[in-house]
A and B are shown apart, each in its own frame.
Chain A
């Protein structure tokens, strides 16, 4: 039911109600809210089981059921996905009010919800992979919603291709697991787990390959390049995809196969380090961006790095906790940013904003709540979850802890920078001076999310949803260090960015995103050219020249040869006749 509602909505909108935009919007919102209500039911009652259909069943060899898994993890994700999704749908009603492609947008949004819920509910690798790809596709549609803009079309393509690379590794990982365990259903794999552990090298490779899928989808280094460009999509899309759901799918996958990963130390370490590098990278680049959404995009990359780091440190609880709180405050931040953008008539450069705290009061307040949660300021939710991860790192891997702490410092820095430049100080442009607050349909989701961003961290609240991690021996040093980092970051930001008209710091390396895009373009150009040349050579010389022209040429040649016997000349015939006689005599007499 949960799944079918958004799917039905997508189908109805695409097939029937394309012309009646408001109706489409309404259908979509109703569907997703319906899903949310169903999710709440499922969450409350622990005795619901779902139907199971057999889809592919090659007896004994390959069995892929369409079945759902309803354990604590998936229930929690259902709630997050449908809950935040509902809020974003409602917000979209306001944000996309005047957009000509509204029906298409809502249809795609519904399809995306369907796919994401499918990932959460899938009980076997193959089903999850199918929905995984579907999410990738719908995100392509959503990011490229304003496809008339070249940059948007390019960004959508880039997102799809980059996640596809990760998916390729993911698929190979699934095949490896299936080859050994004989089944793709998660529970069966757990049961047959001993078969894999006997071969640690194999296990490590399979684990890392499955991690590739997460690297792509959750925008880890080195496949993170698509996420900032994906800001070309409408802001609610950014909120949905990049804050709450799609990127969380990667972390969800990792937690699902945690039993696989935790059996291999190498895999764990790899994952932890990639998460850490990603976190640092995202934070560094974010300090130099001037588009309000890009700052948030790199912040997402950074926070996802934290989550992946937590998985690599063998604590699913910490990762899920951070995912839980992050969904709220990041979605909040994105939606609030969207509110700012709409209020300033689609202006996204922060250096053209300023002084909005007095004009967009509620937006400012909610943005501030989200910002404080992101920084990890107590008592907001982000503090608890980030603290949990840092404590984990402190205990298990000191270098990672140091980098994590540095990233926290940077996070505080760039978030404070953003708040300072966007909201405080004097207005820097006309649109900033004449801004007014957004309509209630956009404000109310903001307020709801702000509430959750504040409360979700408290143990009393979070305990109902998931297992809150406890690191008992950490003591007070980790939170203390975290708060110090936070204050230091905010303080430095104040120093630099108070009452500025232009960007005072210039770090080319960060601003140009560590030249990743240029590097990839160069790489692709060279490898692809080489491959294209090889393929062209094979095609021209071997296939065309050898096989096709070769056979025809041979036939022609043989024909020409035989043709020589057909001269009309009698004397030539006589000559051949004589030759034949000689041969005959030879054979008769000497054989």
Chain B
């Protein structure tokens, strides 16, 4: 995820702004910095969203938990 995306991203739940927490970055061929791992901390509600492998997971936390559980059940039924 590029740092300049911070200008347009908002919390999916409360639409508040984020504070970016950077854990790992790399410089791309075009000189821009890519955030590989980190967090997006909502300034207005308690939610924290992960950035892993350069992709922010901005699913509302409850939906994220439901999806994770659904995937787990599907893998058990059809490994």
Decide whether A and B assemble into one complex. no
B-to-A contact residues, CB < 8 Å: none
